[in-house]
Structure 1
Amino acid sequence: MHSPRQPLRRLVVPLVVTAALNPTSAYALGEPGHEGKPSGDTGNHSVNASVSDSQIKIIHVSGGGGGKKGNLAPIDANWKPPACWYEPLFTPEQLKQAVKKNQVSDVGIHEFWSNGVFVDHYEKGISDKNFDGAWSTAPGYKNYNIGQKGYFWRSVAPDVHDEDSWDCGRIMFWQDANTVPKIPHAPTPKMLADYAYNQVKVPDTEVELKPATKSTVNLPTWVWLDRASFQEVKVRAELPHTGLWAETTAKPVSLHLDPGTEDAETYPSSGDCSFKADGSIGTPYAKGDATKTPPCGINYLRATNGEPFQLKASITWKITWEGSDHDGVHHDLPNGTFETTQDMNVQEIQAINR
């Protein structure tokens, strides 16, 4: 992996991205004092897309519903989505026009070129160096490969400040149509599934409570979730011009209750309530259930005295994926959680002795 502090070779910063910088300076993104993201017209992927913008198309296939939604937090703290990869960006004609109009600047995640350097490499065939640990040779191209079928591929990094994004150090390169390069960090169905993980939006986790307005000390509060509120969420990620796709599915499996105080009991004692076959959790409160033990609930042992307890409810979602490799297997990704907090006021009923 590259470090932003390693010695750098010649880099040319184009005027189109340096309105606030000295146009004669040379630097790589991440070098101290130059930590900002490269600019670009992110609304036009065909000419001046930024290296922080992917061409991946996200389709929300099913689930999620209305109301508030949020992203999942992976339970595995060591797991992270891909920091960088390569994907097709320009046809020969598109690259030629972009260079002609001075509309392209990023030749890689951490390397920017002036218009003249693009002409030297992609029109005149002058070789250059990849921005990798070996400074490997990148052969030049004649007239942008006009007449050939394929795309120029470039590295992408959702977060250019992530040090792992330095692993994608090849400058923009050619790949024949209907093929995917066999190089490290080339896109795969698994990579698309990982990318889609962060695009999954799940519903807010606010739970139904009974009593609804205020709980009472030593009387159980029943908790349940309606089966219509939490259904599996499926997101599809497709990378154009590659034939690659993946569908990532999140299915709710359990609810965890944290009463917000040690002076409370949960039902069950672990605080983990499982989803039933119909997609619901717990049992709705019915008249006469006040003194019964709920299958999912809380019993507060002291009153709040004006400061509500912060009841935390988090749902664990099982994450799987399948993709264009068509192996028929639903592969696992790390489970994710989504947590919400709601106020719990607890009253104490005073008994009068005569």
Structure 2
Amino acid sequence: MNTARRTSLSIGSVALTLAFGTVILAAPVHAAGGPRDGTGASSNPQGGKDDTGIYAAARVQYSGAVAKSGGTGNVTSADVNWTPPSCWYAPYLGAKDFKKEMSKNIEDAKNAPGMTGHAGAAIGEMERHYEDDYGWTDTPGYKDYNVDKDGEGMFWAGVENPNEPDYLKRTACSDLPFWVENGEPPPPQYEQAITPEMLAALAYQHMELPGTKVTLAPEAIAKVNLPTWAWLDEAAFDEVQATAAINVPGFNIQATTTATPKSLTLAPGTEDATTIPADGECPIVDGRIGEPYAKGKAKETPPCGIVYRRSSGGETFPIKAALTWEISWTGTGQAGAVGLPDGTIEAVQNITVEEIQSVNR
């Protein structure tokens, strides 16, 4: 690309961002049958033509143990610095359908009020990019929207993660739609192009694990200085899986995230208590956490439990139970399981603690 073209693009960069961000990206995705996000809420989730005759944007399809309606699951990452992708680039439209949508939106933008000067020039540059093989920064131009290659690839565009609260991060994938041949990887400059690893992180974000219900003995009323036994049902140790996938013509990837129970951490709800073990973390031993209480063991030390040192004074102490799950993933092109940060889910159970009453004769 020559210097004159670079200068022209620089002058119109602000106007171009406005025009592209509010007109070009938003309109085609909505017109193609759904919101610009990765929820998978589409009447045609496989990415083929929908009832409008236009390719639906490739949405992430979730299955397995995931939250309903595309919501965030109940798993909290043990690594506070770990986050799922805020946005990504994914297959969007075939060449003919892209031309239909993009040319219409460019025309609408050119006729919109205020699209003169730099703004109008930026729209003109974009039109030349897709119609006249005009190179745009690191992206080669396309002659007539690559219509002669229809069926041989797709234009890719930015997709927002609707569960990302930070607007700037969510909308950061704002590069112009670019062409990718079927079976070929996206150009290397698009580091946020969707990958199996990113799908694994999205499956993690949407994963819904069973609640943590700890069995206690005594169940509701504990005694000062006597152990309260705690254990988990064997059913709580079932492996849980969530899968995220994108399947469109010429592009099919998927990843399955697996969660396996690892340990239970108890917080007694008061400083006047001792956890067993001392750090409050009860590991899995012989396929279970803790040991069910049996008659005659009241004065024995349980493998997992709490000893309260004072009464709750007619109220209750909130026992917080956090079950830690080991998380890993497998997916397209991945030979073996790859680790992800551990995940936790928490539950609170209230318990009354009473003094032991004795009678002196």
CA distance in 2, matches of 1:81, 1:105: 35
Cα distance in 2 for residues equivalent to 1:104 and 1:210: 72
Please report how far the alpha carbon of residue 204 of structure 1 lies from its aligned counterpart in structure 2 after TM superposition: 1.2
Pairing 1:319–2:322 present: no
Aligned residue for 2:196? 189
The aligned residue for residue 255 of structure 1 is: 264
Per the alignment, residue 146 of structure 1 pairs with: 147
Aligned residue type for 1:98:
E
SS at match of 1:10: helix
| Secondary structure class of the residue paired with 1:228 | helix
Report the alpha carbon displacement of residue 168 of structure 1 after superposing the two structures with TM: 3.6
Cα pair distance change 1:351/1:14, threshold 3 Å:
same
Aligned partners of 1:93, 1:157: CA distance in 2, in Å?
24
**Post-superposition shift, 1:152?**
0.6
TM-superposed CA distance for 1:298, in Å, is 1.0
Q: Distance in 2 between matches of 1:317 and 1:214?
A: 29
In the alignment, structure 2 segments of 5+ residues that lack a partner are: 1-11, 40-57, 110-118
Q: 1:160 to 1:225 in 2, by over 3 A?
A: closer
Q: TM-score, normalised by structure 1?
A: 0.75
Q: Distance in 2 between matches of 1:288 and 1:205?
A: 27
Residue of 302, 306, 309 corresponding to 2:317? 309
Change (3 A) 1:142 1:190: same
Cα offsets for 1:107-164 (capped at 9, x unmatched) = xxxxxx99x76982575236475xxxxxx25444333322411111012231373545
Code of the aligned partner of 2:308: Y
Give unmatched runs, 5+ long, in structure 1.
1-6, 19-27, 29-37, 107-112, 130-135
Q: Percent identity?
A: 36
Task: Determine if contact 1:17/1:105 at 8 Å carries over to the other structure.
Answer: no
User: Per the alignment, do residues 16 and 86 of structure 1 end up closer, same or farther by CA in structure 2, a change over 3 Å counting?
Assistant: closer
Matching residue of 1:340: 347
- For structure 1, which segment, 252-261 or 164-173, has the greater mean C-alpha deviation from structure 2 after superposition? 164-173
Task: Give the letter for the 1:188 counterpart.
Answer: T
- Alignment match of 2:59 (pick from 49, 55, 58): 55
In the superposition, the TM-score normalised over structure 2's length comes to: 0.74
CA distance in 1, matches of 2:171, 2:20: 23
In structure 2, relative to structure 1, the CA distance for the partners of 1:15 and 1:326 (3 Å cut) is closer
Corresponding residue of 1:33: none
Residues 66 and 206, structure 2, Cα contact 8 Å, conserved in 1: no
- Give SS of 1:305's match: coil
CA spacing shift, 1:121–1:73, aligned 2, 3 Å: farther
Residue 72 of structure 1, aligned match among 61, 64, 75: 75
| Code of the aligned partner of 1:270 | D
Q: What SS does the aligned partner of 2:285 have?
A: coil
C-alpha distance in structure 1 between counterparts of 2:218 and 2:168, whole Å: 50
Q: Which segment is superposed worse, 310-319 or 8-17?
A: 8-17
Question: How far apart are 1:166 and its partner, in Å?
Answer: 6.5
Q: What secondary structure is seen at the aligned counterpart in 2 of 1:198? A: helix
- In the alignment, what sits opposite 1:11? 16
Residue in 2 that maps onto 1:94: 97
